[in-house]
Structure 1
């Protein structure tokens, strides 16, 4: 099997999980015997472009002529079975879908964000979830609020690109939704269910999990949408030391907020940015990993890393988080109602300590998944769930590792990806043309 992998790499100065995932998939596919033809561009190339080339950059998200010519030559020479598209912006353009179809090559796209609808791709603006452009032919709110790169002009171009390529996206032969939430997003966009498959990303297997550590770990960008304010608000509702340590790793604009919390409380430690060895050590030292995003986070890689390490996850019920921990089917098992949570919260604070959250403030909404727990993005709900997670970590840890092995292991995910390619090539048939 011969596959073209098309991806516009994000700038190397801006750490990108998407770049890492694409690189990993290429490596895994090659190891599985698939012939991969990378068709990659990088936003780092922009700085070294000629003046005429830079002059054409504003239209490249809509139509990138050079990329289409080069892709056309690649398709003519190698005649691949499928083109697998990841990020097309800004140097490839969604037009690569039309180019592939013109050459009779079916297209699979992995949907990493919400950019079929949202100019920023995040459904998040001014510290809040925003879906103002959902259902609109033209995303005027994105232009008004300068959602793309803080520029009204660039936002207008991106909104126009999304409107112009609505038919292009709907002609994609098969969409890979990373989670059930993305599958629902695509359905809302008008993509038929039979053309969407759910296949998450994988992370390398770190080996057998170490014995469970203590306390909680937050690992990620220290930015508003990752929920640092939410987490620290919830944590302060418990006495210092009641839940064990809270370790926070990463970097970003909210670093001063985390440093202040670490100065004020003995049970909060700021680890700073970590390399791979540091991440592994932090996971080993902890019992529960936190994913407290306040936006519809598509697929936080840290959750998969936690499951691989045999660490259950406590997260917010947004985006792909419920799917990752196996709590995306609405349910509320016995033992997770308000009284149960309040009792666990009181027990976690120790004898004689006051309950950290009043029973009347504890919501019913905690959901228990195979590999963790999810709650609404609310400080009281998260505060109530923290002692539940601390008390249940040892019980959930083996299930967390089992979920990784069954759903997110590279061997499993790569096999599923090859099945998607095979089925797409078979059902698209020869002579595929643009719709």
Structure 2
């Protein structure tokens, strides 16, 4: 089997989990015996481009002529079975889908964000969830609010690109949705359910989990959409020391907020930026990992790392978080706007009672959904505060289930086999 993997790498100055995932996927496919032909461009190339090439940059998200010529030569020479597209912006353009189809090559696309609809790809603006462009022929709100690179001109170009390529995206042969929430987003966009396969990313197996530590770990970018304000508000509703230690690792614009919290309370520790060994040590010291995003976070890799280490996760019921912890078959009850949004974000269709026993506790407060490997709550301080002691008491009961969910759903061997199966369904 011969596969072209097409991806526009994000700039090195903009750390990207997507770049890492694409690299890992290429390595995993190659190790499984698949011949991979990388068709990779990088946004780091832009400063060194010729004046003529730079002059064409404004139209490249729509068409990118050089990329189409180079891809045509690659497809003609190698005659691959499938083209697998990740990020097309700005140097490849979604037009690569049309170019592949012109050569009779089916296309798979992994959806890493919401950019079929949202110019920023995040469904998040001015500190809150925003879906103002959903259902519109042209994303005028994105232009008004400068959603793409804080530029009205570039936002207009991206909004136009999304409008022009609506038929392109609807012609993709198979979509890889990283979570059930992404699958729901694609169905809402008009993609038939039979062209969507849920296949998450995987991470290397770190080995058998160490015994549970105590307390909680937040690991990630220290920025508003990650919910640090929400987390610290919920934490302060408990007396100092009653929940064990809250460890916070990472860096970003909210670092002063975290440092102030660590100075204020003896049970908050700021670990700074960690290398891989430091991440491993922080996971081993903790019992529960926190994912308190206040946007529709697609697939936080830290959750998969937690499950691989046998640590259950307490997260907000937004984006892919409920899917990752196995709580996406239940709904957070309606009652507030944020709770309703959280329910819709899971793509859930079934209703499950939201209270019930958990080992180590007498009952789960209403509003907390217990999944296979953790808990999901509305993105509200009161709900998160109520869930913190539940998670601490129930961590031991879910530890082995967390590891099992990783082995069954997120192990590289599992996701690579899934991906090859997807390719196989598109080849004669």
Task: Classify the TM-score, shorter chain.
Answer: over 0.9
Question: How far 1:291 sits from its partner (Å)?
Answer: 0.3
Question: How far 1:202 sits from its partner (Å)?
Answer: 0.1
Pick aligned residue for 1:332 from 353, 359, 363 = 353
Determine whether 1:175 maps to 2:170.
no
Q: Name the CA distance, whole Å, in 1 between partners of 2:266 and 2:46.
A: 46
Unaligned 5+ segments in structure 1 are 346-361, 427-435
Question: How far 1:334 sits from its partner (Å)?
Answer: 4.8
Determine whether 1:405 maps to 2:403.
no
Contact 2:218–2:290 (Cα < 8 Å) also in 1? yes
Q: Name the CA distance, whole Å, in 2 between partners of 1:227 and 1:412.
A: 31
Report the TM-score, using the length of structure 1 for normalisation.
Answer: 0.92
Instruction: Report what 1:255 is aligned to.
Output: 255
Instruction: Report what 2:309 is aligned to.
Output: 309
> Deviation digits for residues 373-411 of structure 1, max 9, x if unmatched?
000000000000000000000000000000000000000
Q: Name the CA distance, whole Å, in 1 between partners of 2:418 and 2:262.
A: 43
What root-mean-square deviation, in Å, do the aligned CA atoms of Structure 1 and Structure 2 show?
1.3
Q: Name the CA distance, whole Å, in 2 between partners of 1:16 and 1:332.
A: 38
Q: Name the CA distance, whole Å, in 2 between partners of 1:277 and 1:385.
A: 29
Q: Name the CA distance, whole Å, in 2 between partners of 1:333 and 1:310.
A: 24
Determine whether 1:26 maps to 2:26.
yes
> Deviation digits for residues 3-56 of structure 1, max 9, x if unmatched?
000000011121111001000000000000000000000111111111221111
Instruction: Report what 1:65 is aligned to.
Output: 65
Question: How far 1:332 sits from its partner (Å)?
Answer: 3.0
Contact 1:220–1:249 (Cα < 8 Å) also in 2? yes
* SS of the residue 2:426 aligns to: helix
Instruction: Report what 2:16 is aligned to.
Output: 16
Q: Name the CA distance, whole Å, in 2 between partners of 1:268 and 1:336.
A: 29
Contact 1:297–1:318 (Cα < 8 Å) also in 2? yes
Aligned 1:92-103 pairs, distance under 5 A: 92-103=92-103
Instruction: Report what 1:354 is aligned to.
Output: none
Question: How far 1:275 sits from its partner (Å)?
Answer: 1.1
> Deviation digits for residues 283-310 of structure 1, max 9, x if unmatched?
1111000000000000000000000000
Aligned pair count? Answer: 406
Report the TM-score, using the length of structure 2 for normalisation.
Answer: 0.93
Contact 1:179–1:199 (Cα < 8 Å) also in 2? yes
Contact 1:226–1:295 (Cα < 8 Å) also in 2? yes
Contact 2:98–2:168 (Cα < 8 Å) also in 1? yes
Contact 1:332–1:365 (Cα < 8 Å) also in 2? no
* SS of the residue 1:155 aligns to: helix
Larger RCO: 1 or 2 (CA < 8 Å, sep 6+): 1
Unaligned 5+ segments in structure 2 are 331-351
Instruction: Report what 1:114 is aligned to.
Output: 114
Question: How far 1:269 sits from its partner (Å)?
Answer: 0.6
